[in-house]
Amino acid sequence: MSKRVPGVFPCSGFYFPAKLKHQHAVDILINRIQHLPLTGVSTKVGGLYEPVSDTIRIRMLGQEYTVGKNGAFLKGEEAPETETIILLWYLLTQGTTPWAGSWKTYLELEGAYAHESYFRQSSEARLAHGVEGILAKKEVVLSSLDGIEAEKVGGCGLAIRFQVLPRIYILCQFYLQDEEFPAQTKILFSDNANDLLSTECLRELGILLAKKILNCLQL
């Protein structure tokens, strides 16, 4: 079961887009993080604590963010609100459950059913249109997004395991079009993901990953 952040909102009730505006959600999370001892949290979440600024450096989706009591920053600028929410939530849950080596579909995450179609259309369906390009640009995708090739199963042409956060992995399986089936993509989450982030945050993390993979095709 995914961990709940006391005093914020339940994992099953925090949506993107939500009843709360993104900025309101950011404000709530920043308020909660004011009382968090970041020096102790950094080890739990797999980040690097910076004592001078009282911040934590965390890699997400191939980039290094600075996260602290003023929010999340990327290359010295405020990070986009969705990314800030994911990073602040990740710090607040302080999950330490290790990955046991197995995977879960999005539908297997807590309370995912209501938004499964949105997730599929926003991530897997979009990636399916770019499978040939992804295979051709494989090395760019791997180096840009902290990915490594994984075992190919079920006839997929390429499988990549992405370390999307220090303790969370996403597996993407890319299937080329053949005589019977169109090109497809499957996205799977590490079995510990729901202990470290809400399903809503994981959904947006998967969608962000899909966008960044497609962006690699333009390089």
Tens of pLDDT, residues 119-171? 999 999 999 999 999 999 999 999 999 999 999 988 899 999 999 999 999 99
The amino acid occupying position 74 is L
Q: pLDDT at position 154, please?
A: 84
DSSP helix/strand/coil, 102? coil
Q: pLDDT at position 143, please?
A: 97
Percent of the chain with pLDDT over 90: 82
* Closest to 29 in 3D by CA, of 154, 194, 201: 201
Q: How many CA atoms does the CB half-sphere of 82 hold within 13 Å?
A: 14
Q: pLDDT at position 115, please?
A: 92
Domains of the chain: 11-93 (no CATH), 103-216 (3.30.310)
Residue 1 pLDDT exceeds 80: no
What is the C-alpha to C-alpha distance for residues 200 and 219, in angstroms, rounded to an integer?
30
> Please, which residues have CB within 8 angstroms of residue 46's CB and are 6 or more apart in sequence?
58, 165, 166, 167
Percent of the chain with pLDDT over 70: 90
Q: How many CA atoms does the CB half-sphere of 140 hold within 13 Å?
A: 13
**Position with higher pLDDT, 76 vs 23:** 76
Residue 8 pLDDT exceeds 60: no
Average pLDDT (163-185) is 95
Q: pLDDT at position 13, please?
A: 39
DSSP per residue, 133-191: HHHHTHHHHHHHTTEEE----TT-SEEEEEEEETTEEEEEEEE---SSS--EEEEEEET
**Position with higher pLDDT, 138 vs 219:** 138
What is the C-alpha to C-alpha distance for residues 4 and 114, in angstroms, rounded to an integer?
19
Is residue 103 within 8 Å of residue 48, measured between CB atoms? no
Residue 112 pLDDT exceeds 70: yes
Burial readout 185-198 (b: 16 or more C-beta within 10 A, e: otherwise): bbbbbbbbbbbbbb
The model's pLDDT over 187-206, given as tens digits with 9 standing for 90+, comes to 999 999 999 999 999 999 99
Q: pTM of the entire structure?
A: 0.90
* Cα–Cα distance list, 123 to 1, 33, 126, 129, 188 (Å): 24, 30, 5, 11, 11
Average pLDDT (58-74) is 97
